[in-house]
A = this chain, B = another copy of it.
Amino acid sequence: MRTDPLGKLEDLREEIDRIDEQIVDLLAQRQGKVQNVVSLKKAAGMPVYHPSREEDLISRRREQAQQAGIEPDHIEELYRCIVRQSRMRQTVHVAQSGVRPGSKVLIVGGRGQMGRYFGGKFRESGYEVRILDVEDWPRAEGLCEEIDLALVCVPIHLTVGVIQDLARHLPDSCVLADITSVKGAPLRAMLEAHPGPVVGLHPLFGPSTSSMDKQIVVATPGRDSEASQWLVDQLSAWGGIVARLDASEHDELMDLMQGLRHFATFAFGRFLAQRKVNLGRTLEFSSPIYRLELAMVGRLFAQDPALYGDIITASPERRALLGEFAAAVSEACGLLEQEETTEFCREFREIAAWFGPFCGQAMRESTFLINKLVERF
At the interface, yes or no: A173 with Cβ under 8 Å from chain B? no
Q: In the complex the two chains form, is B348's CB within 8 Å of A308's CB?
A: yes
Beta-carbon contact of A53 and B20 below 8 Å: no
Chain A interface residue number, banded: 35 or more
Which residues of chain B come closer than 8 Å to A308, judged between CB atoms?
A: 348
The answer to whether B37 touches A13 (Cβ under 8 A) is yes
Instruction: Please name all residues of chain B whose beta carbon is closer than 8 Å to the beta carbon of A319 when the two chains form the complex.
Output: 336-337
Interface presence of A134 (CB below 8 A): no
A279 neighbours in B (Cβ, 8 Å): 355-356, 358
The interface stretch among A120-128, A145-153, A324-332 is: A324-332
Q: Residues of B contacting A356 with CB < 8 Å?
A: 279
**CB under 8 Å from chain B, chain A span 263-286:** 263-279, 281-286
Residues of B within 8 A of A243 (CB): 284-285
Tell me the bound Cα distance from A34 to B19 in angstroms. 11
* Complex CA distance for A46 and B9, rounded to whole angstroms: 11
In the complex, what distance in Å separates the CA atom of A328 from the CA atom of B274? Answer: 9
For residue A323, CB closer than 8 A to chain B, the reply is yes
Across the interface, do B61 and A20 meet the contact criterion of CB distance under 8 Å?
yes
Stretch with Cβ within 8 A of B (4 or more), from A96-104, A162-170, A338-346: A338-346
* Complex Cα gap A334–B298 (Å): 22
The 0/1 profile, CB within 8 Å of B marked 1, for residues 44-58 of chain A is 101000000100010
- Measured between C-beta atoms, what is the minimum distance from A255 to chain B in Å? 10
Residue from the list B41, B208, B215 in contact with A9, Cβ < 8 A: B41
Report the minimal beta-carbon distance from A348 to chain B, rounded to whole angstroms. 4
Most B CB within 10 A of own CB, among A27, A65, A329:
A329
